[in-house]
């Protein structure tokens, strides 16, 4: 008997299928099963670096942690990172394959399909259950619905499918019906259950609608999952639309993050958002900036394009005004590059521009090359050890008006010594290539307490639990939500019959 499997597909992006899959991974792990997540192709600018320096989608890293296993690039063999309106950076098995347009990528699909199948089989051979995730909607009839994801992957893995529908968006039954009925009959047979997600209220109110959709589709509704306060990393940038742009006046510290057009790895700021005295908000217009205590320029998939965006939308003047008022300004990865004096792209890695002036708040200059840095890193900032990861194109050099922020002492588990980041003379502006830096809880609390003291407030001096422990609590909480609101007996039946022909 082969490895069992189950696949979660969604009626649309951000339907919650990633979280449902993560919750089931934890449920199965708690039963003592060896379980691994799998998503054949991911389109996302939030990514994760494995212990061996490979890049993969963040949702599969979250699901792997929920399953109690180390994230493995085989869990997400293809990661697509849109870089321009036409081109996408294709990351295959953790390393950049090439930048491609849709036509070029389409021509590669037959070869990639076979490689994805081999990768899936390799991972499945090591596990009891595979929990697969689709991408977007399976019913995108303007494209090849059999491709590398959704029903194409379900066919390769011979996996049963549970459809996850987001009721919070409205039109949930129409989206369920349309998703199923737009697919060919042989694909419709793969649907073995429907989960309605993000419901607010008494689930009994849906009883008549659930019965009707079951009659119309022949697929049972096996769960109604409530809107919850489970707090896990989001992968899809759609999630930013739910983030506040207005300061929470009950919090002492106001931290604003620029919502760049090509924002990447905004999960860097999750650990700030959970601090009890921090109001974290994402700023989309200069008018939203206000007078924050800290302004953060986040990572970017295309630093040159985001710099042009900041200039044409009059952010530059506002950022410089905040700097003149001694607001703390921080740049992470692409945001660090933006803070420099110059961006040079002689090989046109990111754009057609050869060179353009940066914001000029740090005496550094960045030159882009085709080489991509992907590492898990350990750094020393003063006497403090910081853990994080790097994902960036380009090399940055410091001028005489800047000193380094930290020293990298370990790279993918190997000793190393090189400088990272930069700080301006008075310390009001600094940048680093280290993603995940705020997950260093004690160091982050010291940073926040210095901001409090500068405002005339008492430091909180909270010890705080490590982010790893916080995430473990959230995985358990999510597992309880799934077990309490989904028919687990039906899930078990679906998994048990997963090697049945469809």
Of 270, 323, 381, 435, the catalytic one is 435
Beta bridge partner(s), residue 79: 42, 91
Tell the burial category of 13 from Cβ atoms under 10 Å away from its Cβ (0-12, 13-18, 19+): middle
Half-sphere exposure of 172 (CA within 13 A, CB side): 21
* Annotation marks residue 348 as catalytic: no
* First-residue to last-residue Cα distance in the chain: 17
Q: What region does 418 belong to: left with phi over 0, alpha with psi -120 to 50, or beta?
A: beta
SS3 115: helix
What per-residue string of b and e applies to 307-333 under the rule 16 or more CB within 10 Å gives b? Answer: bebbeeeebbebbeebbeeebbbbbbb
Cα distances (Å, whole numbers) of residue 399 to 129, 198, 354, 360, 405:
53, 51, 20, 12, 13
Please report, to the nearest 10 degrees, the dihedral formed by the alpha carbons of residues 6, 10, 16, 17 taken in order.
20
Q: Which helix (H) or strand (E) holds 283?
A: strand 278-283
Number of Cβ within a 10 Å radius of residue 86: 11
- Is 333 designated active site? yes
Q: Quick one: CA torsion of 20, 261, 87, 38, rounded to 10 degrees?
A: -10
Phi, psi (degrees; rounded to nearest 5) at 442:
-65, -45
Task: Provide the token pair at 112.
Answer: 């990639």
CA dist., res. 91 & res. 55, Å (int): 8
Q: Are strands 129-133 and 4-10 parallel, antiparallel or unpaired?
A: parallel
Q: Which neighbouring-strand residues pair with 278?
A: 253
Tokens of 278: 């921090």
Half-sphere exposure of 470 (CA within 13 A, CB side): 17
> Contact 122/93 with Cβ under 8 angstroms?
no
Residues 6+ apart with CB under 8 A from 33: 128, 129
Which of 333, 348, 383, 392 is an active site residue? 333
- Candidates 346, 263, 341, 257; CA nearest to 303 is 263
DSSP type of residue 227: P
Structural tokens at position 276: 């009890």
E strand or H helix at 309, and its extent?
helix 303-312
Residue with tokens 């449902």: 20
The residues carrying an active-site annotation are 333, 435
């Amino acid at each position: 008997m082969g490895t069992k499997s189950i696949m979660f597909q969604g009626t649309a992006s951000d339907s919650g299928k990633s979280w449902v899959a993560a919750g089931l991974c934890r449920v199965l792990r708690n039963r003592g099963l060896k379980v691994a997540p799998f998503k054949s192709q991911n389109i996302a600018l939030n990514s994760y670096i494995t212990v061996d320096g490979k890049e993969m989608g963040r949702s599969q890293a979250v699901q792997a942690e929920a399953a109690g296993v180390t994230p493995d690039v085989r869990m997400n063999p293809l990661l697509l990172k849109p870089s321009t309106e036409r081109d996408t950076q294709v990351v295959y098995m953790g390393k950049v394959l090439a930048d491609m347009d849709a036509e070029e990528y389409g021509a590669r699909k037959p070869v990639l399909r076979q490689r994805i199948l081999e990768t899936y089989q390799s991972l499945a051979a090591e596990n009891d259950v595979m929990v697969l995730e689709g991408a977007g909607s399976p019913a995108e009839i303007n494209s090849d619905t059999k491709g590398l994801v959704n029903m194409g992957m379900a066919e390769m893995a011979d996996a049963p499918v549970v459809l996850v529908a987001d009721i919070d968006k409205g039109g949930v039954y129409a989206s369920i019906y349309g998703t199923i009925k737009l697919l060919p009959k042989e694909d419709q047979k793969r649907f073995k259950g429907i989960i309605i997600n993000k419901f607010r209220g008494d689930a009994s109110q849906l009883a008549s609608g659930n019965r009707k959709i079951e009659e119309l589709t022949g697929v049972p509704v096996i769960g109604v999952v409530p809107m919850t306060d489970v707090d896990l990393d989001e992968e899809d940038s759609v999630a930013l639309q739910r983030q506040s742009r207005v300061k929470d006046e009950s919090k002492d510290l106001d931290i604003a993050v620029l919502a760049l057009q090509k924002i990447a790895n905004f999960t860097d700021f999750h650990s700030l958002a959970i601090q009890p005295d921090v109001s974290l908000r994402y700023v989309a217009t200069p008018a939203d900036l206000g007078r924050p205590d800290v302004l953060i320029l986040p990572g970017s998939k295309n630093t040159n394009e985001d710099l042009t965006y900041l200039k044409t939308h009059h952010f530059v003047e506002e950022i410089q005004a905040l700097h003149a008022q001694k607001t703390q300004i921080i740049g992470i990865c692409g945001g660090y590059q933006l803070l420099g004096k110059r961006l040079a792209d002689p090989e046109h890695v990111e754009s057609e521009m050869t060179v353009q002036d940066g914001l000029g708040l740090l005496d550094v200059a960045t030159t882009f090359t085709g080489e991509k840095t992907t590492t898990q890193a350990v750094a020393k900032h003063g006497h403090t050890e910081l853990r994080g990861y790097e994902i960036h194109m380009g090399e940055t050099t410091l001028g005489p008006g800047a000193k380094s922020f930290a020293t990298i002492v370990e790279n993918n588990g190997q000793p190393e010594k090189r400088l990272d980041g930069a700080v301006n003379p008075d310390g009001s502006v600094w940048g680093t290539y280290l993603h995940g830096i705020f997950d260093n809880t004690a160091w982050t609390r010291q940073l926040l307490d210095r901001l409090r003291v500068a405002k005339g407030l008492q430091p909180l001096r909270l010890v705080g639990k490590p982010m790893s422990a916080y995430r473990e609590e959230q995985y358990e909480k999510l597992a309880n939500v799934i077990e309490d609101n989904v028919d687990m007996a039906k899930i078990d039946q679906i998994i048990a019959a997963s090697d049945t022909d469809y």
